[in-house]
Structure 1
């Protein structure tokens, strides 16, 4: 063939190849859209610390087909080449007194043969075959004791199936919410891959999530694919050991889990962990994907939890169904938090300036009422008891005011709005013009902050209760506007109460430097009695000095003194709105007496003995 003919033939072949390539690109119905179906395993991710360790803990018993499906799904997942992912398989033994021991021995042998022959290329494979029946609780609790703060456990039961994308997601969670200091919170104990759909608090809110958030935080532990962080898990194990050794049971009133424990007892472990979470105020990371999809799916095969197979609980999120950035991790401050009632919790509200104060006051006020609760000199257990009582009464329109302390920070972490009076920036300039001794200076700051917050409330149009932490309201009606309209100011030194109704007259009284005048009078007042917090003493004296009309709460018999209660417990049956005690009252005596009249709400962990859900 002539050279020119060969060149023409070559050009024709090249054109034909290009034509076929283009036609396959545009005409093939199975051609992937790279912008929608990009394989996530090809995306680069940051490297964890050198000592980062990821352990998969598979718990199995007598379900060979379930185990095979579970292990194959784990082996088909995408793991980064530089990472070591270790597989630990825990095989529980059948009860030794079983009548069909020969059949069970044969099944155990089949499971062991399968596990021994199972190829795991991503790290070490460890098989733990028990010599006696441990049960589901021990399988979970004895599967892991972290060897360092950089070791993480992903625990799966054998009827679970995971998405090929699960590891990439969990690794991103660890890097962003454990190792990233700006996104780290000691409140987070891990991440669940199961689809959330259960609210354990009785009469809790229906689980409703917006379509935008892929991640949210929820207190409930997830047993269908749960990642555990090392430090909270160690803390739980020690807590469990202590309570179990003392014969304490994991009962938490108001929770569905009480029924679980009464029925199954020590066969299950979740009531223990739920009780622990509640006492510590911890949260779990959950995913929120459309169309009932999840990164792990339980097939709910017959076993401890299900008498017969119930089938998959959701749909597995596959590679070809991801039309969003699965590895996008949101800043922690932008993620919503929910408690056992699926009620949103706003964490870390610590007020240190007027700008922050306005936002918090507007968020907590209810029917234009705000409660300012003074925590000065109040024992921590007394404060926690009061907050449990507030939860039971559905009182949420409060701000806790106190000096800087770890306790105050912990209350904010748990979702209680607090005002750090020691760090409140607005009185710093005024403080420089005052030359008080240290003890008097602290009183000055305390009074100035509480009085200034009261003024800000009035400016916003909110009625204000100021109360001492050494008291309890009898019911939520105690804080409603029950006073006659004849007066807008009510003060009680003995009762340790102040009520200021928002009106033009009270705003005029509180305007200008009135808070400063109250605070700066501490040196001239003399020392009040121990049972009278100086704030109420100072307010009453200044109102009298300025000839401002007010009502004396002490003369209205709104409160019952603790001494009267000790003398005659039946006296509490009178129509008292508050019970009040001295800061000098011994804590044991106080707890005993409050328990006698059903006003002590703490358990042995100094946490609320019940969860009370108030539907929205």
Structure 2
């Protein structure tokens, strides 16, 4: 039988009481002291076979009070005994011979430098960079970092920022999960912002409504109030910036609020440059979504370049008492929502290689609107990019690109930007049981016929076009049809449309598409032709009525346009032959005001249509 523990003596109670008083005083002493560990695990495994560096880049100017608050919050965070370096960049005041307060400015900056020199950073190496000239926010951001390798990360903060004690452990977990975990890595994620999401830069964009379950989401917008940057995308941006700046190309992006910022402030700010880069390259940023307007970083929006007078904190800081927030669990990348500059959902990765999977794309389409099947086999990549910009302008969302395997760049680029793709050869193989066709047009025609059947089964009107066409309305062939038939071919454009009805579903059934597939080789002929040509010949052979729509009056043939011709209000589409030289196509479309991509082959404007 165990003996009872000895009872403490009276002087032991006195010592215990004094010890409790001492602990209380320490806890409420000056906040530069190391705080107690927050309610997060302090042991996070390092990436296997990798060690990464983490450096804080603090950008400061002339706000000592802001800088003091920022440094104390950074110093008080929990770093779990990791090495974290601190680089402080202090911008110089503008030198001017006409300034009457030079002496006062010098004293102010001496005070800032004295504070920074005396500030003790216990977590790694502290480096202070005091500039000799004023470079502004753009220079501060762009010159703060050049990654030394692919495992070099920075967290950029401006001096009026305050960070949560949990920020570092959260970012470390995020890096391990979304950068080093192959199952959750995407090369198109450029970093993570810790600020509360609240801004949609696309004019007339959607309101930022997020459900409480979406703790993390992906958004194209960069965050300047606590931004983690991944090394490779930042290097790519810096080289892109140098190239465009050297050639005098401005970061104009119509339809964006930030476009007005740049026109007003010019090179004093850097975000329009990065936004333009993100738009052209299709990158995304990880954001957090915590309830009650809380965030891991808070901007106090002190008076400076961005604010004429202090606006106060933009959100509530997640402090040590925020125990209702799970900061450890990371959702798989496949379960996270993606949003563009209009805060419109982006659905990346929609690539179909088997016919039975076409339904998964159709389930993502808007109901009661036609499906556009777009053949890209005979179109240039720039023409396809220009077509996508017109789709955006017209708010055409229901389209699927049919792409042959030889167009590898499009197969890689289109799905990651959220454009659905059918791989021609793979789907053809799934239809024929692996019987490959040596004629690309035959494979494409068979695939189009079977996909139309899938669209009709899901009650969608369907329109088959090529990349050598620009629609100027949402559905030109059906707009001008006489509605006496379900099937239409444009007399001038040679493009095909089918209207959904019980009769069209019955006609375009299994027997129909099998017969069309069997006859495709003879119908295509030696000189090829469009899908509309094939369908017209097939309908003649089987005796089904086909409506030939006279679209010559509303279809503009690019090869026949003269230098002074313009697009009339009656024009519903622009077409050109696949054999037309790509430079001629671009030049003519530019003259007509219909070439709306820039030197990066990205849209010149962001067009928001509210959902």
TM-score, normalised on structure 1? 0.90
Which region of structure 1 is more displaced relative to structure 2, 95-104 or 343-352?
A: 95-104
Structure 2 CA distance for partners of 1:508 and 1:556, relative to 1, 3 Å = farther
The runs of 5 or more residues in structure 1 that have no matched partner are 1-6, 25-36
Q: Counterpart in 1 of 2:152?
A: 151
Cα distance in 2 between the residues matched to 1:127 and 1:340: 36
Change (3 A) 1:245 1:549: same
Tell me, yes or no, if structure 1 residue 69 matches structure 2 residue 69: yes
Question: Are 1:552 and 2:548 an aligned pair?
Answer: yes
State yes or no: 1:84 paired with 2:79: no
Query: 1:576 is matched with which residue?
Result: 571
The answer to whether 1:595 aligns with 2:590 is yes
Partner residue, 2:279: 278
Q: How far 1:494 moved relative to its partner?
A: 5.1
Partner secondary structure for residue 74 of structure 1? helix
Number of the residue aligned with 2:292: 291
Instruction: Report if the CA contact (8 A) 1:474-1:576 is conserved.
Output: yes
Q: CA–CA distance in 2 between the matches of 1:431 and 1:10?
A: 84
User: Paired residue for 2:410?
Assistant: 407
Alignment of 1:261-276 (within 5 A): 261-276=262-277
User: What is the rounded CA distance, in whole Å, between the counterparts of 1:309 and 1:44 in structure 2?
Assistant: 39
Q: Which residue of 2 aligns with 1:422?
A: 425
SS state at 1:80 partner: coil
Per mean C-alpha deviation after superposition, the further-off stretch among 101-110 and 69-78 is 101-110
SS class of match (1:484): coil
- Counterpart Cα distance in 2 of 1:390 and 1:317: 42
Partner of 2:24: none
1:605 aligns to 2:608 (yes or no): no
Change (3 A) 1:468 1:493: farther
- In structure 2, the residue matched to 1:179 is 180
Equivalent pair of 2:563/2:591 in contact (CA under 8 Å): no
Displacement of 1:558: 4.6
Q: Which residue does the alignment assign to 1:464?
A: 462
* Counterpart residue number, 1:318: 319
Map of 2:33 onto structure 1: none
Which secondary structure does the structure 1 equivalent of 2:100 belong to? coil
Name 1:561's counterpart in structure 2.
557
Residues 355-434 of structure 1: matches in 2 within 5 Å? 355-404=356-405, 405-424=408-427, 427=430, 429-432=432-435
Matches within 5 A, 1:150-299: 150-299=151-300
Alignment match, 2:509: 511
1:31 maps to: none
Query: How far off is 1:12 after superposition?
Result: 9.9
- Cα distance between partner residues in 2 of 1:204 and 1:276: 20
Say if 1:349 and 1:415, in contact at 8 Å, map to a contact too: yes
- CA apart distance, 1:524: 2.4
> Counterpart of 1:400 in 2: which secondary structure?
strand
Q: How many Å apart are 1:564 and its aligned residue?
A: 2.8
| In the alignment, structure 1 residue 46 sits paired with structure 2 residue 41 | no
Mapped contact 1:361–1:457 kept (Cα < 8 A): yes
Partners in 2 of 1:574 and 1:69 — Cα distance?
60
- SS of the equivalent of 2:385 reads helix
**CA displacement at 1:495 relative to structure 2:** 1.6
Give the 3 Å change call, closer, same or farther, for CA 507–477 of structure 1 in structure 2.
closer
Show the counterpart of 1:475: 473
Q: CA deviation at 1:559?
A: 2.3
CA 253–567 in structure 1, closer or farther in 2 if over 3 Å, else same: closer
Q: Deviations over 1:252-304 (max 9, x none)?
A: 10111111112111110001001111111111111111111110011111111
Cα pair distance change 1:425/1:172, threshold 3 Å: farther
SS at match of 1:191: strand
Query: Equivalent residue for 2:453?
Result: 455
CA-CA distance at 1:89 after TM superposition: 0.6
Cα deviation, residue 554, structure 1: 5.0
Structure 2: runs of 5+ lacking an equivalent? 21-35
Q: Deviations over 1:196-233 (max 9, x none)?
A: 11111111111111111111111111101000000110
User: Is 1:496 aligned with 2:491?
Assistant: no
- What secondary structure sits across from 1:321 in the alignment? coil
Alpha-carbon contact 2:192-2:227 (below 8 Å) kept: yes
Counterpart contact for 2:206–2:343, Cα < 8 Å: yes
Contact 1:366/1:397 (8 A) holds in 2: no
Q: Which residue of the partner structure matches residue 29 of structure 2?
A: none
The separation in 1 between residues aligned to 2:51 and 2:6, in whole angstroms, is: 58
Alignment of 1:52-131 (within 5 A): 52-81=52-81, 83-97=82-96, 98-131=99-132
Alpha carbons 1:388, 1:601 under 8 Å: kept: yes
Q: Which moved more, 1:105-114 or 1:139-148?
A: 105-114
In structure 2, the residue corresponding to 1:132 is in which secondary structure?
Answer: coil
Name the structure where helix makes up a greater proportion of residues: 1
